[in-house]
Amino acid sequence: MAEGGKPDEGDGGAKSNGIEQAGGIVVVAGPSYVELVESQEKSGQSEKGEETAAEVDSEKTSFAIGARVACLSTWDNLYHSAEVVDRREAKAGFEYYVHYLEYNKRLDEWLPSTRVEKWRPDIVPPLKSAMAEKLSPLVMPALPGLVGPGAVDTQRDTPGTADRKLTRNLKRRYDEIHNVPKPMDELAPLDQSLEKEHEEKTKVKNIQVVELGKYEIDTWYYSPYPEEYAHEHKLYICEFCLKYMKKKKSVERHKIKCELKQPPGDDIYKMTAPFQEKLANAEGTVVEDIPTTTGTDMSPHGKAQQLSMFEVDGRKSKMYCQNLCLLAKLFLDHKTLYYDVDSFLFYILTENDAFGSHLVGYFSKEKYSAEDYNLACILTLPPFQRKGYGRFLISFAYELSKKEGKVGTPERPLSDLGQVSFRSYWTRVLLEILRDHHNVSIKDLTAMTSIRYEDVVTTLQTLNLIKYWKGQYIISVTAKHIDEHLKTLSSQPNWSIDASKIQWTPGITPPIRRPK
């Protein structure tokens, strides 16, 4: 892959104050759950307890890699249990790269030694915070949606119900429904080796900040940019061609000569959507006040937003798609597609104004999938999250499946955000059909939505709207139950796509040759 830009001297950049997110399209870190102990033990006192060489390697209380520590995080300014992943020398001792034990690794960060202390229960209580529940949607709740053998009767009021331990079968069923990744020791030997290699290579976030258009965004994960760019604190990225550079002046010069003002593909869909102001808890600091076109008044709450969907062929626009994958990897943990983009199509969502089409998010799909995957990777960039764009992208993928006359499903494994996003989409679509149509079967739902049979079943199970009777699944639902479930989704943005306006024809799928 060619370089993203000419070699420049990196300026290090300044870290943004973006807020980390997870859950749904985004769940933002909020207030903590406990009041921290303010009093510290007096100087000279030492706490009696276990102290290993892995935790403290000098009298100056420096911590070795692997040490368990208490860290004052930058995202809520509260103490959390953490593990030292890496460290580097600084002017005043060490700086530590830490992983917060109760949270997704997107919150991992470098901290000065002044924010890192030896772990003590009086500093970090051994309780999981409400915030951790939000940022870790894979935490196992009660399972009212499971039916059939081994299901838990959550309606029965019995002592100890809240503390009920999940049976092995029930846990496995939950993991299947929510696509919970298997623990390392349960993977096949080859998969264990690959997972360990992935963890070792990506354990430290290499680029901390990117500036894309008018937004400065904190990154979430490691991305394999070329070596000369891979260790810059901040990268500057052209929002149209996605070329990456080290210095602000380089990207300013590039803007003058960049020929692209939109993705290099076919504009296959346009729509006007109600404009929504960026929520206070969506991530991305505006670093440049760029005027935008006013649009058409749609409601007293805002203005219209012009959107486009572009189809970009990875073989025809290889450089653009490779740059897109490198950018996306900064916000996707297990994404593995970086350079081999020829066999994929990329569907790019943009917000449009007089200055061009600005990247919002995208999904990719294989040109030819034997498993009928209708989506490989999906990403909504942090500044545009919590506006319904994730659901829009998922909905568009299923509209393409309908035009192909196929049943589709996303490629597994899904990320934590992807799991919640797809589950939310499936839930709303199926509930709306059940509300408007009576006496429909699971096969009917699959035919009407292009959602895979198994995805329909697991979604209805989580809603407790399906029963297993004499070897088959039967939908059991009342109008009251549907309305109650739909009310829980009423606050979520819900844009409809006019399929008749999608300017797209399915490609010719070659016959699949199976081994004899």
Q: Enumerate the active-site residues.
A: 411
| 318 neighbors 340 (Cβ within 8 angstroms) | no
| 4 neighbors 224 (Cβ within 8 angstroms) | no
Separation of alpha carbons 360 and 371, rounded Å: 28
Separation of alpha carbons 198 and 193, rounded Å: 9
Separation of alpha carbons 88 and 112, rounded Å: 10
**Angle at alpha carbon of residue 420, lines to 110 and 327, rounded to 5°:** 45
Structure tokens at 131: 């915030």
Q: How far apart are the first and last CA of the chain?
A: 38
| Number of residues that this document lists for the chain | 516
DSSP string of 383-402? GGTTSSHHHHHHHHHHHHHH
| 16 neighbors 26 (Cβ within 8 angstroms) | no
Separation of alpha carbons 324 and 345, rounded Å: 12
Separation of alpha carbons 94 and 334, rounded Å: 30
- The pair phi, psi for residue 429, each rounded to 5°, is -60, -45
| 64 neighbors 84 (Cβ within 8 angstroms) | yes
